[in-house]
Amino acid sequence: MNEIEQPTPSASACPARSGRVSPFYHETIFDELADARAGEPVFYSPETDCWVVTRYDDVMAILHDHARFSSENTSDSATPVHQDALDIMKRGGFSAEKVQSNCDGERHTRVRNVSAQMLNVRTFALLEPKIRDLVTGALDRLEGRGEADLLADLTYELPAQVLFLFLGIPKEDTEKVKAWSGTRTILNFSPSTYDQQVAGAQDMVDYWRYCVDLVAERMANPGDDVVSGLLRVRKGDDSVITLNELTTVVYGLVFAGHETTTSQLTNTFRALLTWRENWEAICADPSLIPFAVEEAFRYFGAVIGWRRRALEDVVLGGVTVPKGGQILLSFASANRDEAHFDAPERFDVRRKNARKHLTMGNGKHVCLGAPLARLEMKIVLEEFTRRFPNVRLKPGAEIKHAYTYVFNAPKSLPVILR
Ligand code: HEM
């Protein structure tokens, strides 16, 4: 995985503000985006071939304008895929389609209606006791230790284990699936080299086959998991959802259902511990935890930018985006737009309107797993504040991030536990 150096927050107090903003996650991105909102709210980014939209109102308007903006490019490879990699995928029978997040119109509505029957507050709530067991088990393993890397030791595997309970995937497969998901982050959301594409193509074939086998197994042996539930909704009827579409939904979930939650949980700890009075506030009053979760989504969202494509020439912020042009909706910027959030650079669990953040999108495509992510984060913070109230960031620790313009995905979070 390509990585960039990411100094600790204290080191970034005086960011350099020069040149045009790079939308890739980097140390000073939030300050640079603030300058862009003020001076050049829509700008072209050559390294991503996207027009970056930075103001909250513009981002929100695009999320709701399905006549002029398409979602079909949300997961396209950030670098054109080399024919050798495409051949590997074709030979391996990779046949994921554009469904759900990256499709539009009637098809999106049809597929979303199927998934929403399994991905909803009611089904997620049933998981609560099991999530709590997983969290307490993970925290038991931290007992007696003076230091930990909260990513490696807690937030890396936990969301995958929750999702696997939901999908009925064996726990032993966690490592394999997390590795495939890391590859998918590089291929779809970061610039990739020829070697990464070729190696990654084989991983994607294995990942796809894993999903095909999972669906076939649940057809033979239905259970009370999500895949079996989706098959029950389908009732063998292609007009509801085809088997390949359903497998693609599973392929999407096996990624979307944990990678972002891993990052969001890590970012939440980082924000709370950096703005320490907020950590102490939630330890003293756990009823503030749901507000802390929303403020962390706003302040340090795991998704910093999400793509759309212009279906016609459109004028945005005085700039013409040509038909077919790619747009990067900068959630990182919109979430700190001073027109909507007072003192947006402050992390404050008592902020009244944090829930207006756009980290999970908005409108027809809004994240279907949002209630699950919120539930997991709430449980983790409830249990962690009880067990390790004195936790603090390890001074001087270096935090690296994945090199991507889609995610704020830290690679570690060293802390002192006691
Ligand atoms: C912190 C965690 C998460 C974040 C930040 C996040 C963020 C997002 C974003 C930005 C979108 C695209 C919205 C758009 O295009 O307008 C999305 C879509 C989606 N997410 Fe999440 N997500 C998270 C967790 C989850 C989980 C846990 C699941 C499943 C269990 C999930 C399933 C989905 C699905 C199925 C879609 C596609 C919805 C559609 O296009 O109809 N996500 N998510």
Q: Write out pLDDT tens, residues 137-158.
A: 999 999 999 999 999 999 999 9
Which pLDDT score, from 0 to 100, does residue 168 have? 87
CA 299 from centroid of its chain's CA atoms: 14
* Residues in contact with ligand 1 (CB, 6 Å cut-off): 63, 71, 74, 100-101, 112, 115, 119, 252-253, 256-257, 260-261, 264, 302-303, 306, 359-361, 365-369, 372-373
Residue listed under structure tokens 């997961």:
75
Q: Where are the alpha helices (DSSP H) in 54-169?
A: 56-64, 83-91, 105-116, 121-125, 128-140, 150, 158-167
Strands 50-53 and 326-330: parallel
Mean pLDDT by 10 residues, the chain (418 residues): 33 39 94 96 94 98 98 92 95 95 96 97 96 98 96 95 90 87 86 92 94 96 95 98 97 90 97 98 98 98 98 95 98 98 98 98 97 98 98 94 94 96
C-alpha–C-alpha distance, residues 364 and 105, integer Å? 10
C-alpha–C-alpha distance, residues 387 and 368, integer Å? 31
Which positions ≥6 away from 67 have C-beta within 8 Å? Answer: 311
Q: What is the pTM of this model?
A: 0.93
| Atom 19 of ligand 1: nearest residue by CA position | 367
pLDDT (tens digit per residue) in 150-204: 999 999 999 999 998 999 888 888 888 888 988 888 888 888 999 999 999 999 9
Mutate to test the pocket of ligand 1, among 360, 380, 406, 407 (most ligand atoms within 8 A of CB): 360
Strands 314-316 and 392-393: unpaired
C-alpha–C-alpha distance, residues 68 and 312, integer Å? 6
The SS3 call for residue 373 is: helix
CATH architecture of 3-416: Orthogonal Bundle (1.10)
Alpha-carbon torsion (154, 281, 376, 406), positive or negative? negative
Q: Which structure tokens are listed for 285? A: 């009053």
